[in-house]
């Protein structure tokens, strides 16, 4: 089973930036066709933030939840087995634990932000944005 480890979380003031990394224990580009970032704030349900196709004709195409469009960007580096989430113009409402996950599914159109389609998951990294 591939293991995922997130890093890059921390505390930042509103308007600041953070870049999260999700590193896999092995090459994922062959068997895992979608990767995504999710977040869960205290007292709220987990929500999809961004997803990307890892390879193929649609490789690199991404989808974002409305609240982060224009501020967040998901990217990947196959050589490093890493998925990134660049977060700019952060807001207090972005405060949450952020998780990365990958999927053997290949669903078009998308990639979807449905958490049930993704496994395995990382352990999460905390992002705190203060006003």
pLDDT in tens, 26-77: 988 889 999 999 999 999 999 999 999 999 888 999 999 999 999 999 999 9
Q: Look up residue 115 and give its two tokens.
A: 């958490």
pLDDT of residue 29: 80
Q: What is the pLDDT of residue 77?
A: 94
What pLDDT is stored for residue 116 in this prediction? 96
Asked if residue 130 has pLDDT above 90, the reply is yes
- Residue 106: pLDDT band with limits 50, 70, 90: very high
Considering only 21-30, 92-101, 115-124, which range has the smallest mean pLDDT? Answer: 21-30
Rounded average pLDDT over 101-124: 96
Phi then psi dihedrals of residue 102, to 5 deg: -130, 165
Gap between the Cα atoms of 93 and 123, Å rounded: 21
For the chain, percent of residues with pLDDT exceeding 70: 100
Q: pLDDT averaged over the chain?
A: 96
pLDDT score for 65: 98
Is residue 68 classed as helix, strand or coil in its secondary structure? helix
Q: Tell me how far apart the alpha carbons of residues 102 and 125 are, in angstroms, rounded to a whole number.
A: 16
Rounded to whole angstroms, the Cα distance separating 124 from 40 reads: 9
Q: What is the mean pLDDT of residues 97-109?
A: 96
For the chain, what percent of residues have pLDDT higher than 90?
92
Instruction: Residue 111: name the closest of 71, 72, 55 by CA.
Output: 55
């Amino acid at each position: 089973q591939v293991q995922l480890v997130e890093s890059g979380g921390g505390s930042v003031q509103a308007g600041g930036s953070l870049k999260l990394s999700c590193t896999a224990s092995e090459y994922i580009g062959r068997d895992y066709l979608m990767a995504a970032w999710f977040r869960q704030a205290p007292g709220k349900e987990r929500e999809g933030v961004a997803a990307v196709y890892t390879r193929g004709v649609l490789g690199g195409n991404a989808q974002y939840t409305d609240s982060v469009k224009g501020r967040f960007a998901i990217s990947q580096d196959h050589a490093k087995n890493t998925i990134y989430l660049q977060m700019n113009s952060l807001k207090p409402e972005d405060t949450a634990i952020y998780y990365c996950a990958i999927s053997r599914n290949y669903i078009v159109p998308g990639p979807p932000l449905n958490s049930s389609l993704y496994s395995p998951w990382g352990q999460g990294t905390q992002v705190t944005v203060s006003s």
